[in-house]
A and B are shown apart, each in its own frame.
Chain A
């Protein structure tokens, strides 16, 4: 079993819709959770991080964490074609190193 699992996609949504990306993790000691966006041929860039159960909103992005169920999700409202990228979920256990999922490819159709 992979430590951090994501559906590889592609997840296809129409422009203006809500995109929902999900991630599950296996280590119950995980403390920090990150979403990175990676455009093709580019490096991962941080979108959001979350530490506590519940929702955290930043502009069009909302991260949701449920430690009891060991899942974290990312919602993108009013999806734009420029949001088309691979989204990487990363999990930290407090030892600084992060474990990354394999990523979900999002396609936003104009």
Chain B
């Protein structure tokens, strides 16, 4: 399996511009998570989906942030308008609902991340 795929890997934009980050989860996984990581705040959960439905978006910092999952193999995180304080590494992760192997149920597999710089 290719693992979780994220694009772009690096994004540099100017304040006020729209930014769209993309994620393809591991095939067959039914949970998808978006995280933001900064030195000051560590790894923060922004939102997560189950079977393409948003379950908890309480971590989304502001209305400028939105996320969608139109199908099981694709999700986007959009920031509009972007601000310098949004500069961070954004990770997407996926996991699988327990079947016969509950032991691995909560394990999340991370993508390589998108490093966003807003000037």
Of the residues B48, B103, B104, B105, contact of A97 by C-beta under 8 Å:
B48
Question: How far is B43's CA from A34's CA once the two chains are assembled, in angstroms?
Answer: 14
- Which of B16-24, B61-69, B78-86, B109-117 interfaces with chain A? B109-117
Question: How far is B43's CA from A82's CA once the two chains are assembled, in angstroms?
Answer: 23
Question: How far is B94's CA from A98's CA once the two chains are assembled, in angstroms?
Answer: 12
In angstroms, how far is the closest chain A Cβ from the Cβ of B18?
25
Question: Could you tell me if A99 and B45 are in contact, using CB atoms closer than 8 angstroms?
Answer: yes
Sorting the interface of chain B by its residue count into under 10, 10 to 19, 20 to 34 or 35 or more gives 20 to 34
Question: Could you tell me if B31 and A88 are in contact, using CB atoms closer than 8 angstroms?
Answer: no
Chain A residues with Cβ below 8 Å from B33 are 97
Q: Tally A residues with Cβ within 8 Å of B.
A: 21
Question: Could you tell me if A88 and B110 are in contact, using CB atoms closer than 8 angstroms?
Answer: no
Question: How far is B55's CA from A43's CA once the two chains are assembled, in angstroms?
Answer: 24
**B13 CB within 8 Å of chain A:** no
Chain A residues with Cβ below 8 Å from B104 are 49
Question: How far is B82's CA from A10's CA once the two chains are assembled, in angstroms?
Answer: 33
Question: How far is B35's CA from A90's CA once the two chains are assembled, in angstroms?
Answer: 13
Question: Could you tell me if A43 and B111 are in contact, using CB atoms closer than 8 angstroms?
Answer: yes
Question: Could you tell me if B109 and A96 are in contact, using CB atoms closer than 8 angstroms?
Answer: no
Contacts A32-B106, A92-B106, A103-B42 given: A43-B48 contact, CB under 8 Å? Answer: no
**B56 CB within 8 Å of chain A:** yes
In angstroms, how far is the closest chain B Cβ from the Cβ of A106?
16
Question: Could you tell me if A49 and B43 are in contact, using CB atoms closer than 8 angstroms?
Answer: no
Question: How far is B48's CA from A32's CA once the two chains are assembled, in angstroms?
Answer: 18
**CB under 8 Å from chain B, chain A span 80-96:** 88, 90, 92, 94, 96
Q: Which residues of A contact B (CB under 8 A)?
A: 32, 34, 42-46, 49, 51, 88, 90, 92, 94, 96-103
A-B contact pairs, 30 of them (CB 8 A): A32-B105, A32-B106, A34-B106, A42-B112, A43-B91, A44-B43, A44-B91, A45-B110, A46-B107, A46-B108, A46-B109, A49-B104, A49-B106, A51-B103, A88-B43, A90-B108, A94-B106, A96-B95, A96-B106, A97-B33, A97-B45, A97-B55, A97-B56, A98-B45, A98-B106, A99-B45, A100-B43, A100-B45, A101-B42, A102-B43
